[in-house]
Amino acid sequence: MDWGDLAFFLAVTRTGSLGAAAKRLGVATTTVSRRIDALEASLGLPLLERRPDGVRATAHGARIVALAEPIEAQAAELERAALTLREGGIARVRVSATETVIADLLAPRLPRLIERAPDVRVELRSSAALVSLARHEADLAIRMSRPTDSALIAKRLPALRLGLWASAGYLGRRAPDAIDLACERLLGYDEGYGLIPEVRWFRESGLDDALVMRTTSTRALLASAVAGAGIALLPEALARPAGLIEVPSPRGLVPRSPWLLVHRDLARVPAVRAVSAWIVESIEHAVRGGRPPRPANGPDRRFRARPGG
């Protein structure tokens, strides 16, 4: 049996189709099909059930998945250990998050991590696509929704308060609480990330027609608001430091709580724990607006290896 065939098989079971697996792996669909056929032939078992809406693991296939996933995790850990040994004991930790989180919330606090964990090398990877922690495409990930994968450990990060924000130049002499949003130029998110709360808010408030710009980029919203293009829906942690003025909202905006995710296999790795603690502190610092933290009377709030956050 070619152990590489297992990677193709796991990709198919996780994506639900040969085509989606091929796209994720960066190969042709025929290559995926050929590798699955080879695995089934070598094991002498039917592993996938072809269906009109995709593929599904057979009972035998589900058993192979359960056996193969620990092998995959151990192989990834072996690669990580070898890399650490080659680099003289220096540990690398890869963090996946959006460009905004990396550039505006984490990067300014990088000196703190370097000071506390000088032997750790952190890779901050910005991507709108969801990387797979199960396949160790990243070691830590920050996402806006809680995962359902039981192999992942999730910690809820401090909530990001949302609001409507405009520049002093845009508002002019008008009082923020006297603004009629339906008559203003509004800036918001488009549906590139789906019907997220920030998108639904404009629709449910009857303000869709007032949107003069929609984007998937939080940084573009911030830059447009600072330039005086209109009133933007933004996290306070970004808007206030940029000098924007909050405009009262007629309907409440629910704060967004990001999640810090790690695969269970890596939760106790010292370098991963050091970086996760730094991420939590960085988000807390941004939410506080740089104010010092309140005295901690409760238990240690650093990353804990427990399911569900």
Residue 39: give its domain's CATH number. Answer: 1.10.10.10
Q: Using the 3D structure, point to which of 30, 50, 80 is the last residue of a domain.
A: 80
Same domain, 123 and 198: no
Q: Please report whether residue 303 resides in a domain.
A: no
pLDDT of residue 25: 78
> Is 14 domain-assigned?
yes
> pLDDT exceeding 90 applies to what percent of the chain?
55
Q: Which pLDDT value is given to residue 299?
A: 40
| CATH classification of the domain holding 183 | 3.40.190.10
For residue 293, being part of any structural domain is answered with no
Q: What is the pLDDT of residues 138-152, one digit of tens each?
A: 899 999 888 877 778
State which of 139-148, 189-198, 216-225 shows the largest mean pLDDT. Answer: 216-225
Residue 73 has pLDDT above 80, yes or no: no
Question: Of 44, 59, 80, which one is at a domain's C-terminal end?
Answer: 80
Please tell me whether residues 152 and 176 are part of one structural domain: no
Please identify, among 33, 62, 80, the residue that sits at the C-terminal boundary of a domain.
80
The yes-or-no verdict on residue 284 having pLDDT over 60 is yes
Q: Are 9 and 76 in a shared domain?
A: yes
In a domain, 300, yes or no: no
Considering the domain architecture, whether residues 264 and 151 belong to the same structural domain is answered as yes
Across 152-180, average pLDDT = 93
Same domain, 66 and 110: no
How many domains, the chain? 3
**Within a domain: 305:** no
The 10s digit of each residue's pLDDT in 50-68 is 888 889 999 999 999 999 8
Q: Do 111 and 36 share a structural domain? A: no
Instruction: Assess whether pLDDT exceeds 60 at residue 215.
Output: yes
- Whether residue 265 is found in the same domain as residue 150: yes
Statement to judge: residues 115 and 139 lie in one domain: yes
Both 99 and 216 in one domain: the answer is: no
Who has greater pLDDT, 292 or 99? Answer: 99
Residue range of the domain that includes 17: 3-80
Kindly state whether residues 97 and 239 are assigned to the same domain.
Answer: no
Residues 133 and 282 in one domain: yes
Q: Are residues 147 and 207 in the same domain?
A: no
**CA gap 28, 32 in Å, rounded:** 7
Tens-digit pLDDT profile for residues 260-270:
999 887 888 88
Task: Please indicate, yes or no, whether the overall pTM of this predicted structure exceeds 0.85.
Answer: no
* Mean pLDDT, residues 120-125 taken together: 93
Q: Which position has the higher pLDDT, 101 or 135?
A: 101
Q: What is the mean pLDDT of residues 84-90?
A: 59
Q: What is the mean pLDDT of residues 29-39?
A: 92
pLDDT at 136 over 50: yes
Tell me whether residue 115 is exposed, middle or buried, using C-beta atoms within 10 angstroms of its C-beta: 0 to 12, 13 to 18, 19 or more: exposed
